[in-house]
Amino acid sequence: MKVQIINNSRHQIPTYETEGSAGMDLRANINEPIVLKPLERTIVKTGLFIALPVGFEAQVRPRSGLAAKSGITVLNAPGTVDADYRGEIGVILINLSNKDFTINDGERIAQLVVAKHERVNWQEVRVLDETQRGAGGFGSTGV
């Protein structure tokens, strides 16, 4: 699938790192390092603008290495880039560790997954179909 992209950053456009990768790394496009203090959040710009076809979204997700090693994650994970959005892609990062974290220009800060989605037409009813699970949630099926 071809997707239009404008790259106003100083870095390469996102690419898949391996044949089986679902996500492409997004890089920080900043003029100076950002120091993210514990529990602090910020929007990090990427310099990227995309035009997705209707019926698709781009999901901004955390990078597992940043989360596991440094406690840095995407606050609204997954963030959604809608097909009709034409602004710059920004990543809302939060530092969940107890140490300052420095974000440098060009650093891989998140990943982008393009996914197909459906739109629904609601059908209001008074009773839903029965299932074996029923209303059980929030751990009702076990740990």
Domains of the chain: 4-116 (2.70.40.10)
Query: Residue 66: which H helix or E strand, with range?
Result: helix 64-70
pTM: 0.90
Q: How far apart are CA 4 and CA 6, in angstroms?
A: 7
Q: Check if the beta carbon of residue 37 is closer than 8 Å to that of residue 79.
A: no
Q: Which residue has tokens 């979204």?
A: 57
pLDDT tens for the chain, 143 residues: list them: 999 999 999 999 999 999 999 999 999 999 999 999 999 999 999 999 999 999 999 999 999 999 999 999 999 999 999 999 999 999 999 999 999 999 999 999 999 999 999 999 999 999 999 998 888 888 777 76
